Structure 1
Amino acid sequence: MNPSDYGVLVAVLLGLGVLVAVAGWSSPAARRVCAPATVLLLLAAAIFAAAPDSVAVPSGSAKVVFVGLAGLLAVAGGGPLTALVFDLVDRRETPADSLALAGHVLRGGAWIGGLERAATFATLVTGWPEGLAIVLALKGLGRYPELRAAESGVRSGAAERFIIGTFVSVLWACGCAGVVVVTTVGSGIG
């Protein structure tokens, strides 16, 4: 295969990942299948991005589509994956109860998580990893009053959910950004 074939293959894998990730938002049953499938698609994209000596990413608007697919995967794929991790952590509770409890204490978590993944992805792809510290600081400072209030009353596990959700979300976005960075090294993303 030539370098442009690898670029197309990575783009196709990212596109499939976006489709599977979106399907993972539909139900807990779909999440249990789609989240691991999305992880495998991202892993396959990373392997094909890193395996050859060079990968030719299309230029111009095709490059924007390539980076956009990875960004969409970062945002869309992180939600079902994070929810699946919460399901695994809270095995004794039904998945709906676990997410409902987290949603009650940490309102807007899906939106905040999506924005967090988008910002993480953007800072890494643009070559500004220091921005990740700003993203995490803003999230921590913004959630601090809710976490403090939740922990002062009944033990809700909100702080643990916050930490687990943040780590899963940020690591997922880093993986998606990593595929873009590895694929576009030397050619720039603009």
Structure 2
Amino acid sequence: MTAYVIVIAAAAVGLVGWAFARTTTVRVVTGAGLAVALALAVVATIFEDPVTGSRHDVMVLFALVLAVSGGAVVTTAAFEVIDSARPAVGEGATVKAAADVLRGGAWIGALERLAVFGALAARWPEGVAIVLAVKGLGRYPELRAQETGGTPHSGAAERFIIGTMVSVIWAVACVYVAFAPYVVGVR
């Protein structure tokens, strides 16, 4: 029941954070809070009885919301931390400069997390490979143009990889919280 409550609360915070977190500090604090909440939910699923019935359906729905909205906040927070920890190499080496190169990244990331969650919830892990392949092939022309003629040291390729990894790991953790006791046979 603990994981159930944590997932619902974190999904609500994720939605609010996705919609209203505009400053660096708020994004980083919200992202860190969501990461801690998801980690606690993962631990709770290990030690408590699984949620069943209609509560499980509600938990899956809120885990999906947490995957999509919370993942956006956590991914942005990760970029904020990366940018603040290391001074930019060139003028274009920030999250905003990479976002100029990789337009639509926030929506693509949300759709990516939705697709990863759906594929794993449907017990079709091959779907994750397809999602990543489509994303990589879709971004290849922009990343290639950046490498050959774009702003030097923009960091777009690195940010593409980091954003994808954070996003996918977040979605996988949300699926784990929703389905682990049933898939792994914990109980």
Q: TM-score range with shorter-chain normalisation?
A: 0.7 to 0.9
Q: Which residue of 1 aligns with 2:121?
A: 125
Aligned partner letter, 1:12: V
Does the C-alpha gap of structure 1 residues 145 and 186 become closer, same or farther in structure 2, counting only changes over 3 Å?
closer
Q: C-alpha separation between the residues in 2 aligned to 1:103 and 1:186?
A: 38
Instruction: Quote how far apart the aligned CAs of 1:180 are.
Output: 1.4
How do 1:64-143 and structure 2 match up within 5 A?
64-91=57-84, 92-93=87-88, 98-143=94-139
Aligned partner letter, 1:161: R
2:30 matches 1:34: yes
Q: C-alpha separation between the residues in 1 aligned to 2:35 and 2:98?
A: 23
Runs (5+) with no aligned partner, structure 1: 1-5
Aligned partner letter, 1:163: I
RMSD across aligned positions (CA): 1.8
Contact 1:10 1:45 in 2 (8 A): yes
Contact 2:83 2:95 in 1 (8 A): no
Contact 2:56 2:178 in 1 (8 A): no
After superposition, the C-alpha distances for 1:162-187 in whole angstroms (9 at most, x for unaligned) are 00100000001011011112133489
Which stretches of structure 1, 4 residues or more, deviate above 3 A after TM superposition? 183-187
Q: C-alpha separation between the residues in 2 aligned to 1:67 and 1:101?
A: 36
TM-score (norm 1): 0.85
After superposition, the C-alpha distances for 1:60-90 in whole angstroms (9 at most, x for unaligned) are 4x33221010010000111121112112222
Q: C-alpha separation between the residues in 2 aligned to 1:151 and 1:112?
A: 21
Runs (5+) with no aligned partner, structure 2: none
Identity %: 44
What secondary structure does 1:90 align onto? helix
How do 1:24-63 and structure 2 match up within 5 A?
24-25=17-18, 26-27=21-22, 28-52=24-48, 54-55=49-50, 57-60=51-54, 62-63=55-56
Instruction: Quote how far apart the aligned CAs of 1:99 are.
Output: 2.5
After superposition, the C-alpha distances for 1:135-182 in whole angstroms (9 at most, x for unaligned) are 000000000011111111222111111001000000010110111121
After superposition, the C-alpha distances for 1:72-118 in whole angstroms (9 at most, x for unaligned) are 0000111121112112222225xxx8232121000000000000011
